[in-house]
Amino acid sequence: MSRHALPEELPPRTSRRRFLGAAAGVLLASPAAVARVAAPATFGLTPVFLDSDLELLTVLEQYLSESLGRDVALVKRRTYQEMTALLLSGQIDAAWICGFPYVQYRERLSLVAIPIHHGQGRYQSYIVVNANDPARSVEDLRGKIHAFSDPDSNSGFLVTRHLLATMGESPASFFSRTFYTYGHRNVIRAVAAGLAHSGSVDGYVWEVVAEIDPDLTRQTRVIRKSEWLGFPPVACNRNYESSANVRGLGHALLSMSDHPLGRRVLAMLRLDRFGAPDDALFDGIAAKYDFVRKQV
């Protein structure tokens, strides 16, 4: 699918009770107001995060819906490209994306909130190998098979791509073969199972998986950590940043630590809270992107 292709239409999610309540108020509100109340807000997620946990998804959806006072539909897509296309086309209100697609479309996207992990809105990219692999440095990976998470992922692709560019190399020239797993946890699984000798993975995800599934991460070993870079943000289409849904989602995220359900979500994500937008956090990612583009 091209970057600007439009995925399928999103189905509305309106409960019978809320439908009846909205219908009862038709005579008291304008048609436009009724339409705004009835329409669910939409919040996008990709497999790059720990979104395979059904309990987490259920509680997150419940919290956002209660905070906004209307249905909030969680929209999942397999790739960042698909999710970015939804944002750029205005088909969803906001999405938890990555710093790489954000800097690629900085003129068309706006930041809504920044996750805060261990007191800061930054994280690292890890390169991991199988626990039994003798590799000690990136150079030891030359001619081996490497797993990336997503071609639009900062930690799962761009950081390693930039590192190779500084060495005068590319993934094709340095590794014997590369492939995408479309999920950081899948990168860890691929390396643990020996499907790849090494992999590029989000350090935050690797550390959280180490807590919840230590048997998996124990089969891998970190051989390189990047510098600290802007944490994957929540973003929206710049044209709709003042809409009621986007403002409501932003408020819900920023006040998440003040609500019991919100604190439950944060605990499952191992996050401190969500913080206010800070565009400067992504200058380092933008510099890597610019450097790589000049080498191509």
Q: What is the reported pLDDT for 248?
A: 97
Instruction: For residue 82, give the amino acid letter.
Output: E
Q: What is the reported pLDDT for 39?
A: 76
* CA 250-78-252 angle, 5° bins: 15
Instruction: Give the chain's domains with CATH numbers.
Output: 16-121+231-283 (3.40.190.10), 125-226 (3.40.190.10)
Q: What is the reported pLDDT for 29?
A: 37
Q: What is the reported pLDDT for 46?
A: 83
Q: What is the reported pLDDT for 42?
A: 97
pTM, two decimal places: 0.84
Instruction: For residue 57, give the amino acid letter.
Output: L
Q: What is the reported pLDDT for 54?
A: 82
Residue 191 · residue 104 · CB < 8 Å: no
Residues lower than pLDDT 50 in the chain: 1-37
Residue 49 · residue 182 · CB < 8 Å: no
